[in-house]
Structures are given as structure tokens and as C-alpha cells.
Amino acid sequence: MRGKTVIVTGANSGIGKATAAAIVKLQGRVIMACRNQARAEEAARDIRQETGADGGQVVVKQLDLASLESVRSFCENIIKEEPRLDVLINNAGLYQCPYTRTEDGFEMQFGVNHLGHFLLTNLLLDLLKRSAPSRIVVVSSKLYKHGDINFEDLNSEQFYDKAFAYSRSKLANLLFTCELARRLEGSGVTVNALTPGIVRTNLGRHVHIPVLAKPLFNLLSWGLFKSPEDGAQTSVYLASSPDVDGAQGKCFADCKPLDLLGKATDQEVASKLWDISEVMVGITT
């Protein structure tokens, strides 16, 4: 990855931090795009200490995916300052949070996990195309299987279930990958998705576990869940491996192609979701 610039969203903890560290070890330059600047700076220090990288190889930039204004500001800064962008890793995500809304009024999980990344990717597409061959990596989840796209209530105003809303946002990630792959044919830019498996991260901070059960849960999680480093392996593989040169619109798990349910590759639904997402975030193509 020497000479390559990689953006990782949500790189201050968990899979994102492990992904950033692994890319730096491969001699790549990482821009950590994070909401919490202080935590991101702390994570960047950890990565520099772990890898021996200098300040220029690990850069922190503020990005709040729950704010379209923040996304636009971040992208303007990147386009102005960066001559090239080789890989964009859409990693950040919220998991099963209580019903809240983004700055722009979207249900938080759909707004951050799908719409924020949708706008981010679209605004950086020209830079990625100028840097071709380049790659986009989308972190989804096997929990997409429990979601569906209800175009009558994308904002969960009629009904909200935090687990279902997460699954829907992860299904939206896969449909986004499907439609973006179609649009990128012949551009020199590839997009592929992945499901990292169950990983020990702070993603589940909104999930309630009874106090008496926490020691047992923590013990089981260490035995059964992947470490962030293991969870990051497929992200790093899709960002860096020559094995996936030219791979387009696929989903991977454990660095191998994964067969998806039909609802995650439905071209008609993917195209409709794209059109509606454009309206929601205020872009036109």
C-alpha cells in the first residue's frame, strides 16, 4: 500500500482502528475520518506507537456522518488537500441505538449507516475516478437478512424497532454496493462489501445486558467473538489484495465471496433506493 491514501470512517475504535493500523503496517497512508476528534487523536497516537509511523502517515479529520453539512465540509477539505484517493472504507456504524434523529431529521441508524456514507461516497467519486485504479469498501453485516426496505417508512416514523432498523441499514449498504457497482463499470473504480462477523467492539454499547449476566457475557465474548484485528481482515483484504483486482459488486466474509439473499441484490430495489437517497441527501446526477 506504499504511496496509497486510504480513508477509513469510524477509525477511532474497534474494526476501524484495527483496519487503519493494518493498512499503516502495509505502508499505506491513512486518513482517520471520525466524529470524536479527541478519541481519534488518541487512537492515532496508539497506531503511530504500534507501527512506528510518522505524523504524515496517520492523519485525523473530523467527520460526523449524522450531519450532511459535516460530510460536505469533510469532502471539500479532502478534494482541496488530497491529490489522490486510492481507497475509501465505509466502516463507521451505529448499532441498535434508541430512536433518535440526525441533524437533518433522519432516523439515526439509517442516517449514519446508509445516508451519510451514501453522500460521502458520491462526493468523493470524482477524486476516486481520477486516482483509478481505486477501491471502495463497504462494511455491512449478516444481520441484513432480518431487514427489509419499506419505502413508505424509511425514516421509521410509523414504527421503530432498533434491531430491525440496524438490519435495514445494513441491507441498504448492500443495495448501495449493488447499484454503485453497476454505475462504476468501466471507470477503474471498484466497490465491494463485506460482513465482518461478530466482533468484540463497543458497537453494542446500546444493547442492554443485565448486570448479573455481564461477567458471563464478557467471558463468552472473549471465547466466541472475533478480535477487532480478526474482524478487520476482510476490510484490509478488499482494500489491498491483488486477488480482488477488478472484483465488482460482490460481498465477502472471511476473505471469501459470500452468497447473498436475493433481497440484497435486487436491482430494481437498489435503483429505487439510490434515487430516493439522492433526494434525501440533496444531490442530483
Active site residue ranges: 166
Phi, psi of 97 (to 5 degrees): -85, 160
What residues have CB less than 8 Å from 251, skipping those under 6 apart? 140, 174, 177, 192, 193, 194, 195, 257, 258, 260, 264
Cα–Cα dist 102/177, whole Å: 23
Cα–Cα dist 274/184, whole Å: 14
Provide the 8-state DSSP code for 107. Answer: B
Distance of CA 272 to the CA centre of its chain: 21
| Beta strands per DSSP E along 10-115 | 29-34, 58-62, 87-90
Set of cell numbers at residue 257 = 465471496
What residues have CB less than 8 Å from 241, skipping those under 6 apart? 255
